């Protein structure tokens, strides 16, 4: 008879909590940063839409924001100011004036 193998992972008591993993993906990091933003729920959802559209690689400006989330040009400017102040976006050089991208969190 073959003896049963011992399993190092106990399915009843996993070492990694699926609700609170120790390692975050970059998207989880940005979502946490958006959630901690001092803004109302509606603004946070607009920022999340913006991130889902452009990710870290996309470059966007005031016009892009206004069209994507259906807000006025001046409201898009206010959102840019809030995101710049919070460090969520950074200005991109060489793409024209007023172009931004999401800032990657440094380890």
Can you give the CATH number for the domain in which 56 is found?
1.10.10.10
Phi, psi angle pair for 21, to nearest 5°: -65, 150
- How far, CA to CA in Å, does 34 sit from each of 5, 10, 15, 48? 46, 35, 28, 7
Residues across the chain: 107
- Report d(CA 50, CA 46) in Å as an integer: 6
12 within a domain of the structure (yes/no) = no
22 within a domain of the structure (yes/no) = no
Joined together, the tokens standing for residue 22 give 């120790």
4 within a domain of the structure (yes/no) = no
Each residue of 8-63: pLDDT tens digit? 555 565 555 555 544 445 566 788 888 888 889 999 999 999 999 999 999 999 99
Enter the pTM of the model. 0.70
10 within a domain of the structure (yes/no) = no
- Report d(CA 45, CA 51) in Å as an integer: 10
Range of the domain at 93: 41-102
Looking at the structure of the chain, the number of domains it has is 1
């Amino acid at each position: 008879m073959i003896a049963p193998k011992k399993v190092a992972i106990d399915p009843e008591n996993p070492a990694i909590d699926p609700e609170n993993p120790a390692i975050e993906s970059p998207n989880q990091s940005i979502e946490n940063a958006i959630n901690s933003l001092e803004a109302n729920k509606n603004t946070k959802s607009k920022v999340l839409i913006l991130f889902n559209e452009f990710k870290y690689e996309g470059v966007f400006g005031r016009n892009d924001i206004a069209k994507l989330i259906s807000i006025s040009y001046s409201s898009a400017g206010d959102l840019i100011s809030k995101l710049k102040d919070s460090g969520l976006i950074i200005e991109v050089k060489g793409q024209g004036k007023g172009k931004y991208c999401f800032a990657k969190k440094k380890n």
